[in-house]
Amino acid sequence: MSTTVTKERTGPGQQRAVPPRTPAGARRRPWISGAPRRALTGGAALVWTALVVVPVYWLVVTSLRSRTDFTTDSPLALPGRPTLDNYKTVLDGDFATYLLNSVVVTVGAVVLTVAAALMASFSIVRYTNSWSRLSFRMYLLGLAIPLQAVIIPVYLLIIRMDMYDSLLAIVLPSAAFALPITVMILVSFLRDIPRSLFEAMIVDGAGDWRMLFSLVAPMARPALMTVAVYDGLQVWNGFLFPLILTQSGDKAVLPLALTLYRGQFGIDVPATMAAVVLSTLPMLAVFLLAKRQLVAGLTAGFSK
C-alpha cells in the first residue's frame, strides 16, 4: 500500500509537506515483538517467581536444620539431616501465649475497624452533603499520617488512660490507624449500590439502621471480607505498637516474640525460622478459607 504525502499551502508561493495520517484503526507496533518479547516476558516471570519462592523455600528449609547444620550446609541445599527439634523448642516455650495474644489483638482490632468503617462509610454515601464530604476528606487525610510521627502522642495517651502494658493498648491504636484505608475501600464499594434501592427502602418506611443491616451489609459482604483480611494481616504483622505500648512478656504478640530468640552471643536462626513458619499458618488458613469472598471483593469493581 502506497503512502501519499500531501502538501499544505502556507503562503503565496510556499508549500509545506504534511506527514501522512495514520489510519484510525491502525496500532503502533511494539518496540519489541516476536521471540525476543516472549523471551523477555518469560525471563521477567521467572525472576519474579524466584523472588517469591526462594525466600519461602529458605525459610522452611532453615527451620528443619540444626544449629550446627545451619552454619555448615549450603543455605539453599536440602537439609541432610532434617529435624523437628526447632519446632519442639518453639512449642515448648510460650508460643501458645504469644499466639493467643496475637489472635485477641487481631480479632479485636478487625471487629472494631470494620464495624466503625461500615457505619462511617454508610453515612458518607447516604448523606451527600458538605459534612459527609468533609468527613471523607478527613479520613483520606489520615492515610498521609505515618505511624512513626504520632507514636509519642499515642504512648502518652495510653499512659494517661491507664492502659499501658495491656492488649487493649494495642487493639485501639491499631484499629484507629486501619480505619482510613478501610473507609476509603468501603466508600468506593458502597457508591456502586443503586440509589433506587435506598429510595425503595425509604418508601417502605425503613430507617438508617434497617438500611444498614438489611441492605448495605449483605451487599457489601465481599468488600467487608476483603478489608477484614487486609486489616487482619496488617495488625497480625504489627510490631511498633506492641514494642512501645507493652512491656511484660505475657502481653507480647508473635512479631515481638520473634526477637526473644536472640541470645547474648547470637541468634538461634533455625528456631526463629520455625517460629516464623508457625506464625504464618493462622493467616494462611484464614486466607484459604476466605479466598472466594476475597477474590469477589477485589474483582467487584471490574465487574460493574
* Domain shared by 97 and 72, yes or no: no
* Domain shared by 73 and 162, yes or no: no
CB atoms within 10 A of CB 25: 5
Q: Is residue 198 part of a domain?
A: yes
Question: Which of 27, 52, 83 is at the close of a domain?
Answer: 83
Angstrom distance (rounded) from CA 136 to CA 124: 7
Q: Retrieve residue 149's grid coordinates.
A: 510521627
Q: How far is CA 3 from the centre of its chain?
A: 53
Question: Which of 55, 83, 111 is at the close of a domain?
Answer: 83
Q: Is residue 2 part of a domain?
A: no
Q: Is residue 184 part of a domain?
A: yes
* Domain shared by 74 and 106, yes or no: no
* Domain shared by 45 and 154, yes or no: no
Write b or e for each residue in 42-70: b if 16 or more Cβ atoms lie within 10 A of its Cβ, otherwise e: eeeeeeeeeeeeeeeeeeebbbbbbeebb
Instruction: Quickly tell me which residue has 499544505 as its cell.
Output: 8
Q: Is residue 6 part of a domain?
A: no
- Tens of pLDDT along the chain (304 residues) come to 455 555 555 555 555 555 555 555 555 665 666 677 778 888 888 899 888 889 899 999 998 988 888 878 777 888 878 889 889 988 988 889 999 999 999 999 999 999 999 999 999 988 878 888 898 898 888 888 888 899 999 999 999 999 999 999 999 999 999 999 999 989 988 888 888 888 888 888 888 888 888 888 888 888 898 899 889 999 999 999 999 999 888 899 999 888 877 765 567 888 889 999 999 998 888 888 877 777 766 666 544 4
* Domain shared by 103 and 47, yes or no: no
Q: Are 175 and 113 in contact (CB under 8 A)?
A: yes
* Domain shared by 45 and 123, yes or no: no
* Domain shared by 103 and 119, yes or no: yes
Q: Given this model, what pLDDT does residue 302 score?
A: 46
Among 163, 151, 112, 160, which residue's Cα sits nearest to residue 243?
A: 151
Predicted TM-score of the model (pTM)? 0.78
Q: Given this model, what pLDDT does residue 12 score?
A: 55
Q: How many domains would you assign to the chain? A: 2
Q: Are 269 and 70 in contact (CB under 8 A)?
A: yes
Q: Which domain holds residue 296?
A: 89-303
Q: Give Cβ neighbours of residue 50 (< 8 Å, ≥ 6 apart).
A: none
* Domain shared by 179 and 298, yes or no: yes
* Domain shared by 62 and 188, yes or no: no
SS (H, E, C) the chain: CCCCCEEEEEECCEEEEECCCCCCCCCCCCCCCCHHHHHHHHHHHHHHHHHHHHHHHHHHHHHCCCHHHHHHCCCCCCCCCCCCHHHHHHHHCCHHHHHHHHHHHHHHHHHHHHHHHHHHHHHHHHCCCHHHHHHHHHHHHHCCCCHHHCHHHHHHHHHHCCCCCCCHHHHHHHHHHHHHHHHHHHHHHHCCCCHHHHHHHHHCCCCHHHHHHHHHHHHCHHHHHHHHHHHHHHHHCCCHHHHHHCCCHHHCCHHHHHHHHECCCCECHHHHHHHHHHHHHHHHHHHHHCHHHHHHHHHHHHHC
Q: Are 121 and 186 in contact (CB under 8 A)?
A: yes
Q: Given this model, what pLDDT does residue 101 score?
A: 94
